[in-house]
Structure 1
Amino acid sequence: MRLAAAALAVSFLTIPALAKSKGVTVSLKTSSGQDAGTASFVPAKGNELTIRIKLKNLPPGEHAVHIHEHAICDAPDFKTAGGHFNPATKKHGMENPLGHHNGDLPQNVKVDANGTGSATFHVDYLSLDPAASDSLFANGGTSIMVHEKADDMKTDPTGNAGGRIACGVITAPK
């Protein structure tokens, strides 16, 4: 009986570590419900997170990709996703010495003439650890947003990226 209790106690201690080590892949959809690709989030060495984005069915050009604060992607404008996920309450642009967008993911992805694009990013300011303040799973999850224009990397807080054209919900695996 003691052995079973000890094993159970140890298993509860390892649950956060297991949750921290798992990756997650989310589907992105346009406002009309068309498949817009995927985004994968995988823990990497150290405290890094590898983010792989594969876009499709989107207009050609540079598109900003940001993390937003709510795990909701209601069409047509995806405003239910809220503002940018900003656990460190940082400003965008020159006031931010790390060069990233107020703690979220300010990256631009180039979509080619056939509507596809991909990119891989390595960040150390986002996490999949459910207990961390910078966790993408915080408060029920977040969302990943593709905007109509590129992020200018200076305008606070939006990066002057324009409307929201595709969205995916990021929640902890069950």
Structure 2
Amino acid sequence: MKFRSLVPTLSATLLIAACSNLGLGGPITAEAPLAPTKGNTASGTVKFTEVGGGVVIDAQVTGLAPGKHGFHIHEKGDCSAPDGTSAGGHFNPTGKQHGDPAKADHHLGDMPMLVADANGNAKLGTVLEGLTISGKGNGNIVGRGLIVHAAPDDFATQPTGNSGARVACGVIATK
């Protein structure tokens, strides 16, 4: 799975939305509201839109420490543990090593880093190939957990990227 800039797919997303308004079938979407884990303040919303070969991700997160934060889709849609560990490990149906989503080998749940500004706000717009919302293939993310970590992802340490504590957790659900 590779990721690519959101800009080239914006036209495709707008076309899909236009078709939806004409009654031609709309985009397949999902959303994950993020809530802080115990002792943290991070929260936000991550929206997912299925496009050919992947999923557009639009994340808006607040309450973070300034700087980089690991950001992953996890195997279980369970945020019941105060520290978010109930979400399990990274979503990895293909059995790959953890790594940078810009490179060929990595978990399907590996995502680009969230980067928070001086006020603790982070935005991310990207497309991740190999993921689905419609249930087709092994890349289906509906019902999976979504975790924001306290530290940057080094994209090397196995199997987690050494991203530290889980500061926010959400569950991906269709809209």
Moved >6 Å (runs of 4+): none
SS at the partner of 1:43?
Answer: strand
Q: How does 1:127-146 map to 2 (within 5 A)?
A: 127-137=132-142, 141-146=143-148
Residue 108 of structure 1: aligned partner:
113
Residue 57 (structure 1) shift: 1.2
CA distance in 2, matches of 1:149, 1:160: 8
* Paired residues, number: 150
8 Å contact from structure 2 (residues 75, 87) kept in 1: yes
CA distance in 2, matches of 1:47, 1:20: 16
Q: Which runs of 5+ in 2 are unaligned?
A: 1-23
Partner amino acid for 1:61? G
Residue 88 of structure 2: aligned partner:
82
1:98-149 deviations in Å (ceiling 9; x for gaps): 15x3221332111112111101111112111224211002xxx101100011
CA distance in 2, matches of 1:85, 1:152: 17
Residue 97 (structure 1) shift: 5.4
Partner amino acid for 1:147? H
Residue 172 of structure 1: aligned partner:
174
CA-atom RMSD in angstroms: 2.4
CA distance in 2, matches of 1:125, 1:73: 24
Q: Which runs of 5+ in 1 are unaligned?
A: 1-17
Query: Which protein is richer in helix relative to its size?
Result: 1
Structure 1 residue corresponding to 2:47, chosen from 40, 65, 71 = 40
Q: Please say if 1:53 is aligned against 2:55.
A: no
Q: Which has the higher contact order (CA 8 A, sep 6+)?
A: 2
